[in-house]
Amino acid sequence: MAIAVLGLGLTLALGTSAQPGSQSIPEPVVRKMLELGLQNIQRALCDGFNQCAPATPAEFENPPLSVDQARAAIFVGSRSALVRWCGFDADRRSVLPFMRQLRQSKLYNERQLALIAIIHGIQQSITAEQLKAKGTCDEAMRSMLDAQLPKA
């Protein structure tokens, strides 16, 4: 399973035409990322400036995010790594627009948003390491990304 999660990063990053929530991320991989997110949720901030409480056994049994919601966080984490690799400000052009859209939807509580941020960060780190090994972003990829991303 760990190999599937690690291998997913580069696959998603280079498949930039996929939409958030893409069904191309296998459910077992998404569930593993949900588990990793819950194992690390106490590193995130909930309710302003307070650290989130550690995940409960009930949350591990029934995660506070659906598979599709976690899948979207994984996709955007890969995209954010790709954006940074190509020299753009990933926070302004990927992470912040994604999180702003989630907050404005008012469908998520602070704990769910924190879990999304943790999953995003885990995936972004995995993908960033894989992209480093590929060298540098080429101009074609950079132009394609620039056209797809919100202008900050």
pLDDT of amino acid 150: 87
Residue 116 has pLDDT above 80, yes or no: yes
Residue 20 has pLDDT above 50, yes or no: no
DSSP string of 87-107, one letter each residue = TS-HIIIIIHHHHHHHHHHT-
pLDDT 10s digits, 119-151: 999 999 999 999 999 999 999 999 999 999 988
pLDDT 10s digits, 76-90: 999 999 999 999 999
In 73-99, which positions are buried (b, 16+ CB within 10 angstroms) versus exposed (e)? Answer: bbbbbbbbbbbbbbebebeebbbeebb
Nearest-Å Rg of the Cα atoms of the chain is 15
Residue 4 has pLDDT above 90, yes or no: no
pLDDT of amino acid 59: 97
Per the DSSP assignment, residues forming a β-bridge with 51 are 45
3-state secondary structure (DSSP) of residue 50: strand
pLDDT band at 47 (very low <50, low <70, confident <90, very high): confident
Kindly state the tokens that stand for 132: 């480093």
What is the model's pTM?
0.83
Domain boundaries, the chain: 2-148
